[in-house]
Structure formats: C-alpha cells, structure tokens
Structure 1
Amino acid sequence: MTETIWITGIGLVSSLGEGTEVHQAALGGAAPVVDADTFAPYPVHPLPALDLDRQIPKKGDQRQMEPWQRLGTYAAGLAIDHAGARDLVRDMHLIVAAGGGERDVALDEAVCAEIARLPPEEGAKLLNERLASGLRPTLFLAQLSNLLAGNISIVHGVTGSSRTFMGEESAAADAVRIAAARLGEGRGGIALVGGAYVAGRWDMLLLYSASGQLRRGDWVPLAQRQDAGGGLVTGTAAAFLVLETESHAKARGARGIARLTAVRSAAARRRGADTAEAAATRLAAGLPLAPGYAVVSGATGAAVPTAAEAAFLAGLRDSGPVQGKVVQSADLIGHPVEAAFPADIALGALAVAGGAAPQALVTGFGVWRGEALALVEAP
C-alpha cells in the first residue's frame, strides 16, 4: 500500500449504548449489560434502546428492514456523521460483513419436533422436504444478506462501489482488510466498512447451542468461563468505520482518530500443525509493535480458539516489546460475530485516541474459522 489509511469516523452501537463516548469510557472498566432471562439458559447482551428516527427517518424504511438491518443502517449513519462526511457519500465505497437473514422460527420448531422422532436417515430426508415446501419465497427475498448494504445506500445515499461478504468473523476481517487495501492502492479516497449482529435470535442460539459453544447459566467474565470449559455469550452490536486516505482526509480538513497501520487475515484449518495460534503468529511477523502497546482481544469465549489466542498473546509477550493493557471486548459487549472485528478496531482506535496506549493490537479468532490482526496507531 502506498497511501496511509486513517479512521475518521466511528459508528458503534452495543448493549452499552451508542456512540464513541460511552464506549471510550467503558475501556476503563464497565459493568456489562446482560439479559439472562429472555433466552434462558443462554445469556445474551441485548439490543439497546435507540431512537431510530435519528438515522432512519422514514417509518416505511424501518418497517421493511429486519432488526439487524436497522441496527447496521443506524450505526452506518453514526459513522458518516462522526466523520463529517455527509457530502461525500456519493463517492464513498461500501463494504459490509453480513450473516444470513432471520429465519421463520415457528417453522424451524415444527420441523425439529418432527425429525426428533425419526431415525437420522429419515430425518434428513424430511428436513429437505419441509424446508423446500415450508419456506415462503418472499421470506427468503427479505433475508438476502446484501440488503444491509442496499438499505445503507437507500437511507444514507452511499452510492460508491458496494460489496457484501459472508462468512462470520472472517467476513468482517476481510471486509476491513480489503477496504483498507483498495484505498491504500489508490482506488478511492474514502470507504465505509462494518457489520451488524443481533444476539436475541432463537435461530442463531439454536445453531451455536447445537455445536456446544454457548455459555449456559449466569454470565461470568471470560477468564472464569475458560476455567469451566469455555462458553460463548453473543452480543448485539453494530460497528462501522469511515476509512480515508491521509491525503483525502487532509484535503477536506478532517481529523484522523487513528491510523490503521495494518490489517491481516488468515483461515487456519485448525488441525495438525495448521493451528489458529500458528496462523496468528505468522500474521504478526513484522508488525512494528511499540513498548506498551495495548491489546483489544477478540477472544470469543469458545474454548479452543480462546485458548489459542491466549497462547498467541503469551508468545508475543515472551518474544516482543512490553505488552500493555489487554481489553477483552467480549467482557464488555459480548461476541457480535460479523460486527466483532470492526467493533474491536473501533475500541482500539478509541484507546489510542484517548492516550491509553501508543498502539492497539486488535485480534480476531473466529469461533469456527478465521484469524485476523489489525494494528491501530495515533495518526
């Protein structure tokens, strides 16, 4: 890359609230907001109260979006406003990390009840039949993952190039990496990148529960969960970043919140020698870490990747400069999957901007697949 990349706008919404001030304050220590009852036995970090009219003024637009789309569109507007870039949206590139749309939970429950009474072979056949005949085409169309990008374009007028990535945590890491790379190569001056996730969804809780990854029972901090075999607590959050080349930002008199020095991603097979720890160690090679750098850890709480991240950070401490404070974002906002990596970069930028550290190393270790690192520094 030949251009320096600045973060000039942050739109961050989590269970803690909205905006940069509440999240910057939370870096000094904050009690998490947890709903342990609605989806018991699974605790979640819930959706905060939002005045949607502030960023999505038309009620018709609000009604036709699913909750995660409303949340993402709202956070995107916050980022644009924070960057003072309303007059630049026509040239703004848009890259979104998105999951699947919300499912017909009633249908899922009926199908699960049916196949639970059948042998596996018959159950698999019945599953295909029920999904083929039960899902409405109109419901599927309303769930398309690129509708978040479409709604951002419609509501906020962002009409540069548009890309949507799927693939859980890896989608978010690659979205930020590719946005920064395109700007760094001179293919544009400004971009909006991020994702959104709503934790209060039975369909997603069912999927994560089936894999044995979810925390059951009372919420406890990440460290205590690891002592009990790990456990994921999902968090409702949306995070969007306005990225600009330094020259573009200076030309319009914009202030850089932080510099995005590096973004790197990988996808280890997580078996044999190709471990998540080894992949992250390769990604860290050559990063210009300075003494006292902070770490914004994207550890999810899932036992295996969280242990791999701990081993990776221990290796950095043993072989590199003195490591400063480690912030476990999952203890503050939970794990918001596609929104996790941009949210953690936002937290790292706020830590650097607030003078808490000269640099912030942001880590991402996906629940199933995907490793990522970002280095954020003062501009």
Structure 2
Amino acid sequence: MTERKEVWITGIGVLSSLGEGPDAHWDALNAKRINIDDKRFAPYIVHPLAPVSFDAQIPKKGDQRQMEAWQRIGTYAAGLALDSAGVKGNQEILSRMDMIVAAGGGERDLAVDTAILNADARGNFSPGFLNERLMSELRPTLFLAQLSNLLAGNIAIVHGVRGTSRTFMGEEASSIDAARIALARIEAGQSDIALVGGAYNGERLDLLVLFEFGDFNLTGEFAPVWARENNSGFALGSAGAFLVLESREHAEARGAKPYAKLSKVVADLAQRKQPGAVTKSLEALWSKLGVGDDVGVVVTGATGAEPVTSEERAFLRQHQGLAVRATGTMFGHTVEAQFPLGVALAALSVSRGALFPPNDPTGFEVEKSDPPTQIVVMGTGHWQGEGMALVEAVK
C-alpha cells in the first residue's frame, strides 16, 4: 500500500464582513470586532461584506457584470488564496491545479419576482403574462449567475485554474466534503495541488424569506452564538473562503512555506429526528479523528439555530478543557463558506503560534495562552450534515 502523502495548507484567501486577507482578519479577531447590519433587513440581522474593490482580483468589468454577488465574492477570495500561495499567474501550476467548490443556488431578480407577484395579486395575470415577463425582463447573464458550477467556471476564466473541476451542493455539508475529497486525492497521489472553498452572499432577501420559513433567522437584538439560548437563530454573513492544499513534496519543490498541515477530514449525516443524534454523531467523528481532549482547541461553525446548537454544546461540554471559538459570532453564518473559513482560521492560528481571543460573554469560550499545535475544526449544519477536520503545525 502506498504511503499517504502529507498535505499542507499553503494558501489562504478570505473575504468577509471583517475585511480581506489573513492580516486584516487576524487584527479584527484580536480586536474582537463584529460588523453587523440590523437595519437594512430588519428585523433580521446580517454580517455585510466589508467594502472591497473587486477590480483587484477581477480586473475585467465584463467578467464582473456577468457574475452576481456570491460569484464575485468567491472569485475574489480564490484569487486571494492563489496570491497567498504564490501561484497566481503561474501557468504551469495553474494548468494542473484541481478545484473543488462548494456552492449554493443562484440569485434572484427580486424586482421581476415582485412585479409578477403583484400582477397576480391584482388580478392582472393574463394567459401568457408569465412567459412574456420572463422573456422580456430577465437578462441572459442572470441565468449564468444561477448555475452553481459557474463559480468554478468564473474562477477558471479569471484566474486560469484549469485542472479538474468539481462543484458540490448541499449547504454546510458540501464544503466539508469538498475539503475531505481534496485531502484524500492529494494524500493518494491523484493530485498535487488543489484550490478548495466556497462563497456565500448573506445579504439576500429571498434567502432570508426561505430561512424564515424554517424559523432559522436571528431577529431583534444581536447576541454571540453561545448567548442565544433564549433567542435562537443565525445571522447570515457574506463571505468567501478558499484554501490552496498541496502535497508536502510539491510545496517543498517550489519553495512554498505552509501555514499548517491538514491531517484529516471526516464527515457524517445524523438522522436528526432523534434527540441527541447530533451529539452522538460528533462523538463518533471525534473518535474517527483520533484526537484526545488534549488537542486543546476547537474552532466551530456553530450556527446559533436550535436544536442543533444545544446538541453541539452538549458534545463540547463532555470534553472539558477545550478552548472553543465560534466563528458565527464574528462572521455570521456563511453556510457553504463556513467550514473552509474555520479551516483557514485554524491554519492562521497555528502559523502565528496563538489563538485569537474569545468573543463570548457567557464564559463558554475560554482564553488559551500557549501556542496551539493542533486545532479541530467542527462544522454542524443548521439542519443536516456534520464534519470535523484536524489542522496541525508542520514539524
């Protein structure tokens, strides 16, 4: 049996409500900064994208125009990751770089949707009206923005990533599997280097409506994730998070320095009709990961929605002494981007020899002064899907 290859994280690209790039995010996390908007979509709360000039990573205006916001966010974050890894513009490497993207569905033209619904409500919905409006009002590029695999397509067009391409759908679980499969392919020698990640536009009325049907939205006053027991829900966040993963041999051959090592990614799909199913699933994943409580740190994408957050908290309480950090407090819930965002923050913490401070008034999150050498990243979907990753310092 061929020995598994060691996989390094050599590039990190993050764009969020806190800014862009590793340095800006590290500074924001240490300053305990949180950027929310509780006015624009009131009574719902969102973490809006920080001001950004998309020209920096997507120079052609034509490319930008045919993308909707979630694709621009993702393409921009992918460019940041390529820059971080030192492979931006390297055609030899980009021509064989694989890509696995976690993506949701496309965006809507709310003005057209609203006009059609209003016409129906007023009795002006004549035969053929719907087809006429769709033919005359919807621009062709909107349909490009609605294709999930067009995020990967735009990354290929803008940045020249031309190896194999895979797009996974399935909300939080899709990005867990994206990381798991990318890691497995590189470990097995089927790939040398891969771009992995996801993007999300949380500033969408149509999504807020959809999540409201499931009673998932955080409303009223903002509170950190662990302080939402009496007012559960998540605040959607806009973010793109991409990683460059590559085999140690490949990285060393080109002189690349790692942020950290991605040692393992495991996934599950609990049958959540039974109370406690998520806690059991997380216990099983913890065992598969092969770590003890001395791992010290857990970075979780806990959403704040119930009952899943309570079950996740119950699991964490069974493992005393862990320094927990919930990314949902600072970034909001970024769905497909949540897991790669957690991996990125874990790798950044390992590389800097420090864990960013807690941002939690309940005391559930505690300080950690010694440098982390192992961090478990946990992803628990708001209604389905669980996963964990082990990020370690490179020896």
Does TM-score exceed 0.5, indicating one fold? Answer: yes
Matched-pair contact (CA < 8 Å) for 1:257–1:353: yes
Partner of 2:209: 206
Listed as ranges, the gaps of 5+ residues in structure 1 are 118-125
1:300-354 alpha-carbon deviations (Å, 9 max, x no partner): 110211111111112233xxxx42x211101111110000000011011111111
**Aligned-partner residue type, residue 101 of structure 2:** V
Please state if 1:327 is matched with 2:334. Answer: no
Output the CA distance in 1 between the equivalents of 2:242 and 2:383.
23
Output the CA distance in 2 between the equivalents of 1:292 and 1:275.
24
Work out which of the residue numbers 162, 168, 174 in structure 2 matches 1:165: 168
Higher mean C-alpha displacement, 266-275 vs 10-19: 266-275
Alignment partner of 1:303: what SS?
coil
Partner of 2:392: 377
Q: For 1:29-178, what aligned pairs fall within 5 Å after superposition? A: 29-86=31-88, 87=90, 88-109=93-114, 135=134, 138=140, 139-178=142-181
**Aligned-partner residue type, residue 3 of structure 1:** K
Partner of 2:186: 183
Partner of 1:120: none
Partner of 2:9: 7
Please state if 1:248 is matched with 2:257. Answer: no
Matched-pair contact (CA < 8 Å) for 2:267–2:285: yes
Output the CA distance in 2 between the equivalents of 1:374 and 1:145.
25
Matched-pair contact (CA < 8 Å) for 2:98–2:162: yes
1:25-71 alpha-carbon deviations (Å, 9 max, x no partner): 34435120001111111010001111211111111111111111011
Partner of 2:361: none
Matched-pair contact (CA < 8 Å) for 2:180–2:266: yes
**Aligned-partner residue type, residue 332 of structure 1:** M
Higher mean C-alpha displacement, 274-283 vs 353-362: 274-283
**Aligned-partner residue type, residue 294 of structure 2:** P
1:78-131 alpha-carbon deviations (Å, 9 max, x no partner): 0001000121211110110001110122344456668899xxxxxxxx9xx998
Partner of 1:225: 228
Alignment partner of 2:194: what SS?
strand
Cα–Cα, structure 1 residues 315 and 112, in superposed 2: closer, same or farther, change >3 Å? farther
Output the CA distance in 2 between the equivalents of 1:279 and 1:131.
46
Matched-pair contact (CA < 8 Å) for 1:289–1:359: no
Alignment partner of 1:195: what SS?
strand
Output the CA distance in 2 between the equivalents of 1:78 and 1:218.
33
Partner of 1:122: none
Cα–Cα, structure 1 residues 290 and 254, in superposed 2: closer, same or farther, change >3 Å? farther
Count of matched residue positions in the alignment of Structure 1 and Structure 2? 364
Matched-pair contact (CA < 8 Å) for 1:26–1:332: no
**Aligned-partner residue type, residue 306 of structure 2:** A
Partner of 2:341: 343
Alignment partner of 1:91: what SS?
coil
Matched-pair contact (CA < 8 Å) for 2:144–2:150: no
Output the CA distance in 1 between the equivalents of 2:72 and 2:203.
14
Listed as ranges, the gaps of 5+ residues in structure 2 are 355-371
Output the CA distance in 2 between the equivalents of 1:28 and 1:74.
24
Higher mean C-alpha displacement, 163-172 vs 214-223: 214-223
Matched-pair contact (CA < 8 Å) for 1:268–1:274: no
Partner of 1:215: 218
Work out which of the residue numbers 351, 354, 358 in structure 1 matches 2:352: 354
